[in-house]
């Protein structure tokens, strides 16, 4: 099959969870013998790092990008108050990108156009005008649920009101545009069921994030700093910043009191200024790391204190594949096949985080059992080639 994959940011190099998820689709389709053409939005936040892309990737995907300035604008945000559109989505539309898409569709016939997230859904009508091809939306999350959850977490009344407005507009757009695709490929069963319950009558099925297990090798025991805590995630994604702020304010004081020598490492792209200047004993701000796997491999216990968000947390799958014990909120672990106390540890309150982390710190054998089971789970359930094969079957059914 020939697939045109339209991405809301360059999927390669896989610098964050969204890129990892998109690149897993690209790699899985190619590994199954299909042809993939990649067209991606390039932004200030996610630029096209051309020099970091291998020649083989260029050759196999023919990747092209178009720059769009998606920066938040006070004036555009204000004018959006008086329109019916979703500002979250409208930022990703440009005439230049539309023209490039028309050029690609005119040059070659495709079997499927695969849209990565609703942020590139504004180009659906362009595809329909220029081709009879089947269209599939890869729903990484139920996007409006993320904003609804963030609304409940903020105490600022003005911010709460604006977030509620954005969530409402996004929900209206999301649930309406989904119906215009031929198929929806969610990442989790929860998201699939939600869309079906909301009356999405087209074909919907779930396909979890896949990984190439050969790329994830656990570090030797002697190379792991045990005990240690770490968090890795893009800090310009609001749920991540919200989670770390909560963890530092509500959880860390008790953990540090119970384990004075335990260190917490915080890594990720675009650290906010308040974190860069943070001065807390044994909290190390690592910032953006060149080698994410290398960073994770050398640390012991991953913490995922998400209070909002949706879809599947890519970093949890990667951490499991690297043989890490993971302590996550219920929301953080949503959509992942895990069992509390067997291959992951669930904590939703400061007291539960202290308890679960304490069990790992005080008993290395317990830590090792959780870590080993986590890796077994990742290898058994999240192989990228097998998942892409199921996605191809889904395409063919359309």
367 sits in which H/E element: helix 364-381
Both 375 and 278 in one domain: the answer is yes
131 and 183 belong to one structural domain:
yes
Whether 164 and 288 map to the same domain: the answer is no
DSSP string, 293-347: HHHHHT--EEEE--SS--S--HHHHHHHHTT-EEEE-TTTTTTS---BTTTBEE-
Both 85 and 228 in a single domain? no
With H, G, I as helix, E, B as strand and everything else as coil, classify residue 355. helix
Distances (CA, A) of 89 to 17, 80, 113, 275, 393: 19, 11, 19, 28, 30
- 238 and 134 housed in the same domain: no
- Same domain flag for 231 and 144: no
Q: What is the DSSP string of 219-262?
A: PPGGGS-SS-EEEE--TTSHHHHHHHHHIIIIIHHHHHHH-TT-
CATH code of the domain covering residue 315 = 3.40.50.2000
* Residues 283, 155 share a domain: no
* Dist. CA 302–CA 281, nearest whole Å: 19
Both 191 and 48 in one domain: the answer is yes
Domain count, the chain: 2
Tokens of 134: 């089947």
CB count in 10 Å sphere of residue 97: 23
Please, is 298 exposed, middle or buried when counting C-beta atoms within 10 Å of its C-beta (0-12, 13-18, 19+)?
A: middle
| Domain match, 202 and 69 both | yes
Asked if residue 295 and residue 254 are part of one domain, the reply reads yes
**Torsion 321-296-245-146 (CA) sign:** negative
Clarify whether residues 190 and 292 are in a common domain: no
List per-residue pLDDT tens for the chain, 398 residues long.
999 999 999 999 888 888 989 999 999 999 999 999 999 999 998 999 999 999 999 999 999 999 999 886 655 555 555 566 788 899 999 999 999 999 999 999 999 999 999 999 999 999 999 889 999 999 998 888 877 777 877 778 887 887 888 888 899 999 999 999 999 999 989 899 999 999 999 999 999 988 888 889 999 989 999 999 999 998 888 889 999 999 999 999 999 999 999 999 999 988 999 999 999 999 999 999 988 899 999 999 999 999 986 667 889 999 999 999 999 999 999 889 999 999 999 999 999 999 999 999 999 999 999 999 999 999 999 999 999 999 999 999 99
> Is the separation of the CB atoms in 82 and 31 below 8 Å?
no
CB 126 within 8 Å of CB 157: no
Say whether both 221 and 255 belong to one domain. yes
> What are the CB-based long-range contacts (under 8 Å, 24+) for 97-100?
97/41, 97/66, 97/68, 97/123, 98/123, 98/126, 100/39, 100/64, 100/66
Q: Print the domain residue range for 203.
A: 2-210+383-397
CA distance 147 to 164: 7
């Amino acid at each position: 099959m020939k697939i045109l994959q339209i991405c809301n940011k360059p999927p390669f190099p896989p610098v964050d969870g969204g890129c990892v998820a998109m690149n897993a689709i690209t790699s899985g389709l190619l590994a199954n013998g299909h042809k993939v053409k990649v067209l991606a939005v390039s932004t200030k936040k996610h630029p096209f790092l051309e020099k970091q892309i291998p020649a083989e990737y260029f050759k196999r995907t023919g990747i092209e990008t178009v720059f769009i300035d998606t920066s938040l604008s006070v004036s555009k945000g204000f004018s959006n108050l008086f329109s019916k559109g979703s500002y979250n989505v409208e930022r990703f539309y440009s005439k230049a990108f539309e023209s490039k898409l028309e050029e690609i569709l005119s040059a070659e016939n495709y079997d499927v156009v695969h849209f990565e997230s609703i942020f590139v859904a504004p180009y659906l009508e362009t595809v329909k005008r220029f081709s009879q091809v089947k269209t599939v939306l890869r729903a990484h999350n139920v996007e409006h649920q993320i904003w609804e959850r963030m609304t409940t977490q903020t105490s600022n009344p003005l911010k709460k009101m604006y977030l509620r407005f954005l969530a409402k507009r996004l929900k209206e757009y999301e649930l309406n545009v989904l119906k215009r695709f031929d198929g929806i490929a969610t990442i989790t069963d929860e998201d699939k069921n939600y869309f079906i319950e909301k009356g999405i009558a087209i074909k919907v099925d779930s396909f979890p994030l896949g990984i190439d297990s050969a790329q994830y090798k656990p570090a030797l025991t002697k190379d792991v700093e045990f005990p240690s805590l770490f968090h890795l995630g893009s800090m310009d994604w609001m749920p991540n910043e919200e989670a770390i702020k909560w963890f530092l304010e509500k959880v860390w004081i008790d953990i540090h009191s119970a384990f004075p020598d335990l260190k917490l490492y915080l890594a990720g792209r675009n650290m906010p200024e308040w974190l860069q200047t943070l001065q807390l004993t044994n909290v190390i701000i690592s910032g953006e790391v060149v080698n994410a796997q290398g960073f994770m491999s050398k640390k012991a216990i991953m913490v995922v204190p998400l209070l909002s968000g949706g879809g599947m947390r890519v970093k949890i799958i990667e951490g499991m594949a690297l043989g890490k014990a993971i302590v996550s909120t219920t929301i953080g672990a949503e959509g992942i096949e895990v069992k509390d106390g067997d291959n992951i540890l669930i904590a939703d309150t400061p007291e539960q985080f202290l308890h679960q982390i304490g069990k790992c710190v005080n008993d290395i054998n317990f830590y090792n059992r959780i870590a080993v089971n986590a890796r077994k789970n990742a290898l058994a359930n999240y192989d990228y080639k097998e998942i892409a094969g199921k996605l191809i079957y889904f395409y063919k059914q359309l």
